[in-house]
Amino acid sequence: MASLNLPENSLSVLTHRYLLRDDHGKVNETPEQLFRRVAKNISLADKSYGQDPKTAEQEFYKIMSTLDFMPNSPTLMNAGNKLQQLAACFVLPVEDSMSDIYDSIKHTALIHQSGGGTGFNFSHLRPKNDLVHSTKGVASGPVSFMKVFNASTEVIKQGGKRRGANMGILNVDHPDIMEFITCKEDEVSVNNFNLSVALTDTFMQAVKKKADYDLLNPRYGKPVGKLNAREVFDKIVDGAWRNGEPGIIFIDRINKYNPTPKVGRLESTNPCGEQPLLPYESCNLGSINLSNMVKTGKIDFDHLGKVTWAAVHFLDNVIDMNNFPLKQIEDNTKANRKIGMGVMGFADMLIKLGIPYNSEKGVKTALQVMKFVRDEGKKASTELAKVRGNFTNYDKSVFPEKGIKHMRNATVTTIAPTGTISMIANASSGIEPFFSLVFRKNVLEKEGLLYVNELFEEIAKSRGFYSKELMEKVADSGSIQKIEEIPADVREVFVTSHDISPEWHVKMQAAFQKYTDNAVSKTINFPNSATKEDIENAYMLAYDQDCKGLTVYRDGSRSIQVIDIGKKKKEVLEETPKKMRERKNTVQGITNKVGTGCGSLYVTINEDEEGPLEVFARLGRSGGCAATQTEAIGRLISLAMQTGIRTEQIVAQLEGIRCPAPCWQPEGLVLSCPDAIAKAIKKKIGASSEEVVQDVATLSEFMNGKKKPKGNVVGVCPDCSGPLIHEEGCSKCHNCGFSKCG
């Protein structure tokens, strides 16, 4: 078997996250074998329709091994394996009874365990303080139950690969809407949820008129109060400005394009908002690599068409080969057969065509490409239906195309987050612009290696302005727009996220939405200086341009932003230990409660006249390895304190240690139990609150204007401690390939 000539990044991500391992954790699969495994497994569906799977197997292997197409992560991970759960997106109902609520929590756990993400609309739950007839008590409301779902998600690890992700939606006319809008201000209570408010056309018109609108009790659907639409809208804008939450979806517009309205109304989406689904419905996704669809400076539509047809065939087969986590999901999915074929590498395509992202020509290219993909995808679905039959709930009166008598899939196209699959394909993420052209990457013991965008490096060398010093300068600035050593025509084309105004971001999303059956996952970027009015204008533009929703992110708006711009060394204070201090029978101290990824940690710090003397650290839940380790840490800290080690030195050793489950707290990000203990000690001794994080610059440096971010950095990667970038409505690490969305 000939070896695949894959880029280093592709090999790294495949090895770290996708290749099969033996019982000892050793990789026992090559990339070629992975693509063969997936192609062979997915092609087997052809047998059911009297077709030869060998033909499909070769076709599927080719489009993956050439990096022309990549399915979603669950398919790559699980096809041909025991788990065989291949879908990425699920929506579950949340009905207004205790048994239904906890059924949904149980079903959520099963889906997360199998590698999927879940979406919910909590609008059927009666509002807070409403009457509960069965107990004669009062209801606690949707937000309280969201916290229960959040807690369940916290302890479920998806297929051993990634943590569960959720979308929580509440209709704007629910009586608890104001509590919902503000429930994520602390960034802790529902940290495993993306939140979106479902806005109706009636509400949007009321916003424009600054009029009141009705709040409806879901128990009987009648008005129970009014709110001013403008005030509610302003509160949504305020939350988005503060930390990007909540997002918005235009629920009436989503249902305008519902392909099965007689089956049910669309009320929720998957975690990143691009896939509206009915309750107990799933969808599998895949993306075509547009970077590979340019030849000699022109779009190769012939090749793009062939890959599109093969991708539709592949994704339809996935439905038949899928091992669904619930029977209800299998039944509904097979009745509608929704697939979500999207694209990635669009920014690469524009660069190869010499077209700026933020230009009318860029938008025109988006319309041209997505219309072609949508049209060819529909044709491929029609031809499949002639052999395999229409999807069960097909209603020809719903489809706008005249004369169509056959359709295999209720939906064909979706622009989804590409996460790690774009790294495998060596392509830019989805339809996003580049987040950076040059950044520092940490690989094993080699820290701060420069990673230069291949297209930028190629043109820099061919035009004669490449140098390591210049690349360092680009890495530090995050943009090339003010670097005069770079030719103006190059600067015009090589734009990054923050070089592009929000208006162009929205226009690009609208262009792709026009020819996308489902919706579009994209982040609308704002500089830190953006005003609330800027956010409002983007929302209104998105509504007027027929988008189905919008996700915004104002740079630096999270409580801690980690910037990958070098390493700040911790100062180690050397001092000769003093004589062991004696502990009196009675000492005084305080106990701090700190939230961690392992639960609540109670840190007791006792002191004598010389200062801190001993530390006791106890997790809220008893027993287990974590509890014994925190006890051991406390004993060692106490020993260090009593032998004269300076408290600042102890803090320096503990602070910044990371575990796979960092936890947001009102005072900032707690990276681990040791980090929590360090924070508690610093609080006790009144030390400087400056956050020192290995391999990244500090928040204080950023806030003081000394350092600039290079992308929408929202946190720390739980795998490699690199920066998590917010793009495509998701969080992704460009250092190691970690993605919350696959």
What are the catalytic residues? 270, 272, 274
> Rounded to the nearest 5°, which phi and psi values hold at 415?
-100, 100
DSSP codes of every residue in 687-716 = -------TTSB-HHHHHTTSS--SS-EEEE
Structure tokens at 9: 């990044």
Query: CB under 8 Å to 464, separation ≥6 — which residues?
Result: none
What's the rounded Cα separation, in Å, for the pair 570 and 655? 10
261: left (phi over 0), alpha (psi -120 to 50) or beta: alpha
Using the structure block, give the residue that is written with the tokens 């079903």: 107
What's the rounded Cα separation, in Å, for the pair 75 and 472? 38
- CA triple 79-82-86, angle to 5 deg: 35
CA 500 to chain centre: 21
Does 246 sit behind a cis peptide bond, omega within 30 degrees of 0 on the bond before it? yes
What's the rounded Cα separation, in Å, for the pair 371 and 161? 35
- Evaluate whether 273 touches 521 at the Cβ level (below 8 Å): yes
What's the rounded Cα separation, in Å, for the pair 515 and 496? 25
Query: Which CA distances in Å does 213 have to 129, 225, 226, 270, 610?
Result: 21, 9, 5, 28, 63
Tell me the residue type at 545: Q
What's the rounded Cα separation, in Å, for the pair 690 and 712? 21
3-state DSSP helix/strand/coil percent for the chain, to nearest 5? 40, 20, 40
Handedness of CA 512, 335, 407, 293 (dihedral sign): positive
What's the rounded Cα separation, in Å, for the pair 417 and 469? 34
- Closest by CA to 431, choosing from 250, 291, 298, 543, is 291
What's the rounded Cα separation, in Å, for the pair 352 and 347? 9
Cβ density class 442-462: b for 16+ within 10 Å, e for less? beeeeeeeebbbebbbebbee
Strand pairing partners for 299?
294
DSSP codes of every residue in 109-165 = HHHHHHT-EEEEE-TTSPPTT-EETTTTEE---HHHHHHHHHHHHHT-EETTTEE--
Residue 344 three-state SS: strand
Query: CB under 8 Å to 31, separation ≥6 — which residues?
Result: 4, 6, 10, 11, 14, 19
Structure tokens at 330: 């299998």
What's the rounded Cα separation, in Å, for the pair 501 and 619? 47
83 DSSP 8-state letter? S
Tell me the residue type at 652: A
Instruction: Count CB atoms within 10 A of the CB of residue 212.
Output: 15
Residue 288 three-state SS: strand
What's the rounded Cα separation, in Å, for the pair 199 and 248? 7
β pairing state of 276-277 and 69-71: unpaired
Structure tokens at 127: 């509002």
Helix ranges (DSSP H) in 340-425 = 346-353, 360-388, 419-424
354 DSSP 8-state letter? T
What's the rounded Cα separation, in Å, for the pair 356 and 363? 9
